[in-house]
Amino acid sequence: MAGVLLCPGHCRLRNVPSLLDVERMGEILKALGVKLTRAGDILDIDARHISQSRAPYELVSQLRASFFAIGPLLARLGVARIPLPGGCAIGARPVDLHVRGLQAMGAEVLIEHGTVHASIPGVSKRLKGARIYLDYPSVGATETLMMAATLAEGETILENAAQEPEVVDLANFCRAMGARIRGAGTNTIVISGVPRLHSTDYSIIPDRIEAGTFLVAGAITRSVLTLSPVVPEHLAPVIAKLREIGADVVQEGPNRLRILPSDRHVATDIETLPYPGFPTDMQAQFMALLTLSEGDSIITETVFENRLQHVAELNRMGADIRVKGHNAIIRGVPVLSGAPVVASDLRASAALVLAGLAAGGVTTIQGLHHLDRGYDNLEGKLLGVGARLQRVQVDGAIASDFEKLVPLLGQHYRS
């Protein structure tokens, strides 16, 4: 959606999920003067007449991905003013890699009063191609700089670039608009700037994290599930770990997977890493699964320093997990029991849903606004394969009231 800002015309995006983050990004684009219309999973975006170079703080503060607008805005208009971003409280994700990369391409960047002010000096108002080495293979910085470079003068080389499938998908989208990009999916991306991009009609790849979450749902509930459409190679590290614990994942077609769980899952160790390593966005879901796997597992979180906040909530459900620094030591238990829990972030909310599906009794989860940021109708899809759950509005309820609510909810809920 941010990439459409590069195009002085109309673009159509297909396979767009119904997510809170998509809605928020749409509000940000509208605030910049972009026209959006939606019909089902099709989003039509007209960025011909951008009337603003400043994104509103009240919107940007809710969505970290909104910072991606800085690269396209700067490349298109020669100026961009974007507040420092917000999002899930899973750790520091500074924008210094974005800023240093834009400066290497000739931008003047000033951070003042919580806002990043970027502009291109000179008459041409075009960024200049540059060789940029990223200290860390940040997805956000890679995508921001790749988009900015599409309209720059000359060639830009991004070294130590992120290799995630989402980076490749964005590069393919930019190429569909006429950008000249090669090497996406490797650690070196080369962008040859062009003067102008054009309209396109583009289908977005399936969400590998949503697919991985459903694979774990099948394993943790000992259920055979079939998923389609997916891109199996995007799930290679997730599939490998499922096989290590004793489950099997069968590819039934080019875009179709089936999870065949085992009656007995065993412990394994996981270290989160940039792609093609094990994704940090699957860490919480796998932790829920490992709580019910025989033996001791260790999960090492190397990407975000605050991404173990779900441990306390899983322990409330009877899990046996200890945290030492960036490591979570999980001793498998025979059963989990339903309990009132609170989601701390997007993937933690999914992990608690999975744990609740496998637990005995009633589990109530507060904080579903996190879930809605990254899952399109998760409860509807789970209900469609036999889960027993229900979303309810409980006005004015706080965590300390949950014990009073559980008997009432128990009339309608089953794990």
Contact 158, 191 (CB under 8 A): yes
Phi, psi of 238, deg, nearest 5:
-70, -45
DSSP element (H, E) containing 251: strand 248-253
Is there a cis peptide before residue 229, judged by omega within 30 degrees of 0?
Answer: yes
AA letter at 96: D
**C-alpha–C-alpha distance, residues 108 and 251, integer Å:** 50
Task: Record the tokens describing residue 226, joined without a space.
Answer: 């079939």
d(CA 22, CA 114): 24
Q: What is the dihedral of CA 407, 409, 411, 413, to 10 degrees?
A: -130
Distance of CA 20 to the CA centre of its chain: 12
How many residues can be counted in the chain? 415
Q: Which two tokens stand for residue 73?
A: 């805005």
Residue 399, CA distances (Å) to 142, 258, 403 in order = 40, 37, 9
Nearest to 41 by CA among 164, 207, 161, 174: 207
201-203: strand order across its sheet: 35-39, 42-46, 10-14, 201-203
Integer angstrom CA distances of residue 379 from 362, 388, 412: 16, 9, 15
Catalytic residue among 7, 11, 88, 174: 88
Contact indicator for 279, 238 with CB cutoff of 8 Å: yes
Report the SS3 class of residue 239: helix
210, two tokens: 């949503």
Q: What are phi and psi of 257, to 5 degrees?
A: -125, 150
Which two structure tokens, joined as six digits, stand for 34?
């972009």
Contacting residues for 152 by C-beta, under 8 A, at least 6 apart: 75, 105, 126, 127, 128, 129, 191, 193
Whether 88 is catalytic is yes
Q: Which residues are catalytic?
A: 88
